[in-house]
A and B are shown apart, each in its own frame.
Chain A
């Protein structure tokens, strides 16, 4: 669907110093997937995603949408192609002087759709994002989450095949973040829109992504399924992102690890206590990235398994009983970057 071939973007700063914001990135994003690009601030994620719709002209390399080379398209062709690529931003970027409905009809009007038709489509979209009652409101009158919903509706107006999300939830609180991510997931599933999510937060990747690329210093360090990256992070960057406050996964062999995913269970802590009591085995918590939203636990936890096979069986039985989703990680070596 989207293919980047050896894409580089170099910026020249004031002192004539050059920055390789994106350095020789090759990437393929498949139709229908939710693809995450994660990295710390300054990694080059925004620059990379802006190279996809050519808001940023790559200094080197090629960008393809389906089989069309965007980097070779004329200005006019590029404008046409951009209608197939929706984009949402951290700061929403709504037209402040236009109502919600006029924001949503905007991309349609500029592509030559009649006013009446555009209004109809906008109403459908407002329904999709659950904001039917805000059609006549101005952005200033909306909350952050509502603004992002309008922005999503606007981005979907031209029925794009791809939706690019640059830190779309980074300005939002945890509860609103959840609901926006759930909406993106719904759009992916129901409208079959391929979604590219840029974020510095693992919880975002974990909630909705199928695959993820880990980026640092303009380079893609690793690409894999979310499960793979969580259980066997190969790069230093990935490990730091997964377990932000500590870096405790020891190098070398170990008995194995389990990734527990909390998806709204009452709370993560009693579960670990109960697990220890029921299995009679000690588990070593390698790291946790859970958050409490309204008394419910969301997020993930990595625990190191005991060497005792019986204990492992008991642990798994307990998790199955409590319907806690888990994945088992291998004994793979953890390598440095």
Chain B
């Protein structure tokens, strides 16, 4: 090992916690923005319960625009915004800003695609029962899409973890920063491999837990 084992463990522990902190906080904020966005795009689409072409078009364009910017470029482009919000561009908290910016449109599309899986017949039946658009959203769309939303969440959090590692290049913290600082700049390949292994393990845990929960709560397949 290129570092004393104690130092290495301390280093990785700190990196791991930072990575989880960035990922979880970013995912939560991305969902707070992405869920309403996904719902808006879904319900205003042609055939939607609140069909509205202009609104659908505008939100669609915004989402697609941000989604088509490569994350590294978004990271750099967002630096002034990050400084304005967090006060610095270095560290884990600063990374959350570009992470949210990149993840929210992604989450919006995931939410939209989950809602699209809800049977149109069920939405129709709710309408026929006199449900209002808000009631259809909160009592039909979201509960019926819950298993699919959970799967989407699993994918989103894994993707955001990957993004957070990239942020190490521009001064973000976490496992990504360790991999870059030690593995790339100081040629300590073993440390880089360990961080990569850790990232893989975390993604695997997210996947396994997420799919388990999604299956567990889906009443179409279980019980």
Interface residue ranges, A against B (CB under 8 Å): 53, 55, 79-83, 85-87, 89, 91, 93-98, 106-107, 109-111, 138-141, 151, 154-155, 158, 164
Are B144 and A97 in touch, CB under 8 angstroms?
Answer: yes
Given contacts A140-B219, A140-B220, contact A93 B125 (CB under 8 A): yes
- In the complex, how many angstroms separate the beta carbon of A178 from the nearest chain B beta carbon? 24
Are A89 and B125 in touch, CB under 8 angstroms?
Answer: yes
Judge whether B130 is part of the interface by a CB distance below 8 angstroms: yes
Q: Report how far A81 CA is from B122 CA in the complex, Å.
A: 19
CB-CB nearest in chain A for B127: A55
Q: Report how far A81 CA is from B140 CA in the complex, Å.
A: 20
CB-CB nearest in chain A for B221: A140
Judge whether B135 is part of the interface by a CB distance below 8 angstroms: yes
User: Apart from A110-B130, A140-B220, A158-B130, what 14 extra A-B contacts exist at CB < 8 Å?
Assistant: A55-B124, A82-B128, A82-B129, A85-B128, A87-B125, A95-B143, A95-B144, A97-B144, A97-B219, A98-B143, A106-B139, A110-B126, A141-B223, A164-B128
Are A96 and B121 in touch, CB under 8 angstroms?
Answer: no
Given contacts A107-B130, A110-B135, contact A95 B122 (CB under 8 A): yes
Is chain A's interface secondary structure helix, strand, loop, or mixed overall?
mixed
Contacts of B143 in A (CB 8 A): 95, 97-98
Contacts of A111 in B (CB 8 A): 130
CB-CB nearest in chain A for B123: A93
Residue from B121, B147, B218 in contact with A89 in the complex, judged by beta carbons closer than 8 Å: B121
- In the complex, how many angstroms separate the beta carbon of B128 from the nearest chain A beta carbon? 4
Are A87 and B144 in touch, CB under 8 angstroms?
Answer: no
Are A93 and B124 in touch, CB under 8 angstroms?
Answer: yes
Contacts of A106 in B (CB 8 A): 126, 129, 139
Is chain B's interface secondary structure helix, strand, loop, or mixed overall?
helix
Interface residue ranges, B against A (CB under 8 Å): 119, 121-122, 124-132, 135, 139-140, 143-144, 146-147, 217-221, 223
Nearest 10 CB-CB pairs, A to B?
A93-B125, A82-B130, A93-B121, A107-B129, A79-B130, A138-B219, A87-B128, A83-B130, A110-B135, A140-B220
Q: Report how far A95 CA is from B143 CA in the complex, Å.
A: 9
Contacts of B126 in A (CB 8 A): 106, 110
Residue from B121, B132, B140, B220 in contact with A79 in the complex, judged by beta carbons closer than 8 Å: B132
Q: Report how far A154 CA is from B131 CA in the complex, Å.
A: 13
Q: Report how far A107 CA is from B126 CA in the complex, Å.
A: 8
Contacts of A141 in B (CB 8 A): 223
Given contacts A110-B135, A141-B223, contact A83 B140 (CB under 8 A): no
Are A93 and B119 in touch, CB under 8 angstroms?
Answer: yes
Are A110 and B128 in touch, CB under 8 angstroms?
Answer: no
Can you name 14 A-B pairs with beta carbons within 8 Å?
Answer: A53-B128, A82-B127, A82-B128, A83-B129, A87-B125, A91-B119, A93-B125, A94-B122, A96-B119, A96-B144, A109-B139, A140-B220, A154-B129, A155-B129
- In the complex, how many angstroms separate the beta carbon of A89 from the nearest chain B beta carbon? 6
Contacts of A91 in B (CB 8 A): 119, 121
Are B219 and A96 in touch, CB under 8 angstroms?
Answer: yes
Q: Report how far A140 CA is from B219 CA in the complex, Å.
A: 7
- In the complex, how many angstroms separate the beta carbon of B48 from the nearest chain A beta carbon? 14
CB-CB nearest in chain A for B136: A110
Are B130 and A80 in touch, CB under 8 angstroms?
Answer: yes
Q: Report how far A109 CA is from B125 CA in the complex, Å.
A: 15
Q: Report how far A139 CA is from B146 CA in the complex, Å.
A: 16
Q: Report how far A278 CA is from B131 CA in the complex, Å.
A: 62
Q: Report how far A107 CA is from B119 CA in the complex, Å.
A: 18
* Of listed B129, B143, B218, residue having the most chain A CB within 10 A: B129
Q: Report how far A106 CA is from B89 CA in the complex, Å.
A: 50
CB-CB nearest in chain B for A53: B128
- In the complex, how many angstroms separate the beta carbon of B172 from the nearest chain A beta carbon? 39
Q: Report how far A96 CA is from B140 CA in the complex, Å.
A: 10
Q: Report how far A60 CA is from B132 CA in the complex, Å.
A: 25
Given contacts A94-B122, A106-B139, contact A158 B219 (CB under 8 A): no
Contacts of A139 in B (CB 8 A): 219
CB-CB nearest in chain A for B132: A79
Q: Report how far A138 CA is from B217 CA in the complex, Å.
A: 12
- In the complex, how many angstroms separate the beta carbon of B158 from the nearest chain A beta carbon? 25
Q: Report how far A97 CA is from B130 CA in the complex, Å.
A: 20
